[in-house]
Amino acid sequence: MSKVLKPGETIGIIGGGQLGRMMAQSAKRMGFMVGILDPVENCPAAQVADWHICADYTNLKAINELAKKSDVVTFEFENIDAKALKAIKDITFVPQGSETMSMSQDRIKEKHFLESTGVLIAPFSIVKTKKELDVAIEKIGYPSVLKTTRFGYDGKGQLVLKSEADKKEAESLVCNTVCVLEAWVPFEKELSVMIVRNQKGETTLFPVSENIHIHNILHESLVPARISSAVNDKAVKVAKQIADTLQLVGTLGIELFLTKDDKIYVNELAPRPHNSGHYSIEAMSLSQFDAHIQAVTGLPMPKARLLSPVIMVNILGQHVKNSLALRERKPDWSFHYYGKDESSTDRKMGHITILTDDLEKTLKEIEDTNIWNGGIS
């Protein structure tokens, strides 16, 4: 089924965070009406949308109401009920379907899917009990990473096992939920690729981003990534391979590890716009949010052109105050704030996009502000 939305028709977005906000801003610019479903009364996306259903994501009555009021429904994050998404397909158009979301919600399903595509992933074992943890450690060895199979992000639900000393904490995690133990990938760089595909299979591909994390939270994204053309081509090939196998509609963020010998491992998938793609708002001919709206409304997919090298740096709760003062000293930097009511340590409150002719010089300029200092308290 394919459907092309006309200006004035309505896009319903499940999720009202910053991704939903930027999605809504793109949709409004294209002339669409936007509705939000989110349990937070003054959530970031509701501030820029036409209407807001304030209800929990598990509230089937509210999800049905969103569906009835919308000509198409999309989502800004993957931790919602895939069954509910499947159920509303009889009420409204859900171009992304529920299968990709269902797969990305469960690391075991995601691992098996990635194996089926033939891309490179870290060796792993499924762990449900302490005994299975022993067997997995024997097989995978140290160092390794224990991850919960569901609801993990920004390093939450993960534990690095460096030696036997970490085993007790790992056992506590296993006692609470099903986990996956992955071999540690000795990566040189973390990369990501954003790929957006419409209902006809037309694809928009964004440049490979080089991502710098601190304490498992994205700190900076650099585009173009400081990689060889051969590595770039490899990353693009992986992205297309995954999107085509999925028969993707909408946006997919693909997180990658690059090793010293130029091997690319797929770390995980995110079936929605991604933090590492925020640079595209200023630095590309269209943003990842524009492309996503084009895809879910049935419009043709344009080519995304990089207009300038760029660095995106995140503003976390502990950076907000000093970043506000920085606006008076950096008129050429683009400051984005998400409108969240509560600020807390390590919570993503905004980002800054810096167009540049010299990535290294700009990295030093960011460091010299002393706001981030390469560390997160």
Q: For residue 31, what are the CA distances in angstroms to 7, 9, 297? A: 5, 8, 12
Terminal CA-to-CA distance of the chain, rounded, Å?
49
Instruction: Tell whether the model's pLDDT for residue 239 goes beyond 50.
Output: yes
- CATH code of the domain occupying 10-94: 3.40.50.20
* Residue ranges covered by each domain of the chain: 10-94, 123-183, 187-368
Q: For residue 90, what are the CA distances in angstroms to 58, 65, 67, 87? A: 18, 13, 9, 7
The percentage of residues in the chain with a pLDDT greater than 90, rounded to a whole number, is 85
- CATH code of the domain occupying 187-368: 3.30.470.20
Listed residue (77, 40, 74) closest to 340, CA to CA:
40
The amino acid at 66: L
Task: Work out the average pLDDT over 36-56.
Answer: 97
Fold of 123-183: Dna Ligase; domain 1 (3.30.1490)
pLDDT of residue 20: 98
Helices of type H across the chain? 18-29, 60-69, 82-87, 99-104, 107-117, 130-140, 167-176, 229-246, 280-283, 288-296, 320-326, 359-368
Task: Work out the average pLDDT over 287-305.
Answer: 97
pLDDT digits (tens, 9 = 90+) for 139-195: 999 999 999 988 655 556 789 999 999 998 999 889 888 999 999 999 999 999 999
Average pLDDT, the chain: 94
Instruction: Tell whether the model's pLDDT for residue 375 goes beyond 50.
Output: no
218 backbone dihedrals φ, ψ, rounded to 5°: -60, 130
pLDDT digits (tens, 9 = 90+) for 271-295: 999 999 999 999 999 999 999 999 9
pLDDT of residue 274: 96
The percentage of residues in the chain with a pLDDT greater than 70, rounded to a whole number, is 97
Q: Residue 11: count other Cβ atoms within 10 Å of its Cβ.
A: 26
Instruction: Tell whether the model's pLDDT for residue 105 goes beyond 60.
Output: yes
My answer on whether omega of the bond before 224 falls inside 30° of 0, hence cis, is yes
Instruction: Tell whether the model's pLDDT for residue 131 goes beyond 90.
Output: yes
Q: For residue 259, what are the CA distances in angstroms to 80, 188, 224? A: 33, 5, 18
pLDDT of residue 374: 45
pLDDT of residue 151: 64
Q: For residue 166, what are the CA distances in angstroms to 84, 163, 312? A: 38, 6, 34
Question: Cα separation of 271 and 110, whole Å?
Answer: 12
The label of the residue with tokens 């919308």 reads 70
pLDDT of residue 155: 54
pLDDT digits (tens, 9 = 90+) for 155-164: 567 899 999 9
Tokens of 73: 């429904």
Question: Cα separation of 285 and 85, whole Å?
Answer: 32
Listed residue (41, 42, 44) closest to 18, CA to CA:
44
pLDDT of residue 298: 95
CA atoms lying within 13 Å on the CB side of residue 279: 33
pLDDT of residue 153: 57
pLDDT of residue 102: 86
CA 254 to chain centre: 8
Same CATH fold assignment for domains 10-94 and 123-183: no
Of residues 252 and 100, more confidence is placed in 252
Of residues 210 and 2, more confidence is placed in 210
pLDDT digits (tens, 9 = 90+) for 354-371: 999 999 999 999 999 999
In sequence order, the β-bridge partners of residue 251 are 196
Confidence of residue 82 (pLDDT cuts 50, 70, 90): confident
